[in-house]
């Protein structure tokens, strides 16, 4: 494990694991840490050495004296590139791969945009960033949605009530409800949700450009979706998928919660 000191941003903490030799920068989903992918020990970790980053407001990553106003305004895209540049200072400029789950896919995809000539492989699981997710679009970019998000964050009962209603209409499944509920049961946890989603709200990849770069540089691309994922389903990403020439696409018999031993077993049993 170690830290990247990113000028103007903070100290980004990362975990190292995996028995393979190929370097891979990995970005986890909400409420987890950079260790999230350690369960893929018999599949992806056999070939790759993971550098798994903690998002800010997660794990040991810390912003450098950012005000609430700065956080709400969002982290500039060029600071994602700074992750790689600081990593290069430690490990040398070299080819690498990227992996992202859920909201972490945004950072992974921006690195593909910035370094297409250095990327060997991209692996995305239940990825955000491949289409416009209306829920996040409203909360992060519409004035009334941003106001509502702030109000819900400050309330002890509105957030739990909203989650229950989302579960009731099958917008989220039971496992995602349980995870989300455990992340909003205290005022500090609700603030962390609010700050995290606002901090990354500008980190959206250009999917048209991405597809062209992946095709141009023949980057190996693996996309994994949960068949019962109502958050980031495969159908929403179909326009992006159809623009790729050689993507490997899987839809597994799971929901949004994909990074599990079950997925590891699925990947191990794929024909080589």
pLDDT tens digit string along 215-225? Answer: 999 999 999 99
The pairing of beta strand 2-6 with beta strand 10-17: antiparallel
254-264 confidence digits (pLDDT tens): 988 999 999 99
Cα dihedral sign for 251, 252, 253, 254?
negative
Q: What is the average per-residue pLDDT within 222-231? A: 92
Domain ranges of the chain: 2-132+205-268
Instruction: Provide the pLDDT for residue 272.
Output: 66
In this prediction, residue 19 has a pLDDT band, given cuts at 50, 70 and 90, of very high
Q: How far apart are CA 43 and CA 49, in angstroms?
A: 12
More confident residue, 27 or 161: 27
Q: What average pLDDT does range 117-129 have in this prediction?
A: 96
pTM over 0.75? The answer is: yes
DSSP 54-78: PPTTSTT-EESS--HHHHHH---TH
Q: Which residues are 13's β-sheet partners?
A: 3
Q: Which fold has domain 2-132+205-268?
A: Rossmann fold (3.40.50)
User: Which range, 48-52, 70-74, 179-183, has the best average confidence (pLDDT)?
Assistant: 48-52
């Amino acid at each position: 494990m170690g830290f990247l000191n990113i000028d103007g941003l903070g100290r980004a903490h990362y975990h190292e694991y995996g028995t393979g030799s190929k370097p891979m920068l990995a970005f986890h989903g909400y409420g987890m840490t950079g260790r999230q992918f350690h369960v893929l020990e018999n599949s992806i970790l056999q070939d790759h050495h993971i550098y798994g980053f903690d998002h800010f407001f997660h794990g040991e990553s810390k912003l450098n004296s950012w005000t609430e106003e700065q956080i709400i305004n969002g982290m500039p895209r060029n600071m994602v590139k700074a992750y790689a540049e600081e990593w290069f200072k430690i490990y040398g400029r070299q080819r690498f791969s990227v992996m992202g789950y859920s909201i972490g896919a945004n950072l992974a995809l921006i690195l593909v945009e910035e370094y297409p000539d250095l990327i060997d492989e991209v692996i995305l699981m239940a990825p955000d960033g491949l289409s416009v997710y209306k829920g996040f679009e409203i909360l992060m970019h519409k004035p009334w949605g941003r106001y509502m998000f702030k109000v819900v964050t400050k309330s002890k009962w509105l957030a739990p009530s909203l989650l229950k209603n989302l579960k009731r209409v099958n917008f989220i499944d039971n496992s995602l409800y349980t995870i989300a509920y455990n992340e909003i049961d205290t005022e500090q946890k609700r603030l962390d949700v609010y700050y995290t989603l606002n901090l990354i709200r500008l980190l959206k990849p250009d999917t048209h450009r991405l597809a062209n770069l992946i095709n141009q540089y023949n980057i190996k691309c693996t996309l994994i979706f949960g068949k019962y994922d109502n958050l980031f389903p495969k159908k929403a990403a179909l326009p992006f998928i159809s623009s790729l020439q050689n993507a490997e696409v899987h839809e597994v018999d799971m929901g949004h919660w994909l990074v599990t031993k079950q997925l590891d077993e699925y990947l191990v049993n794929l024909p080589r």
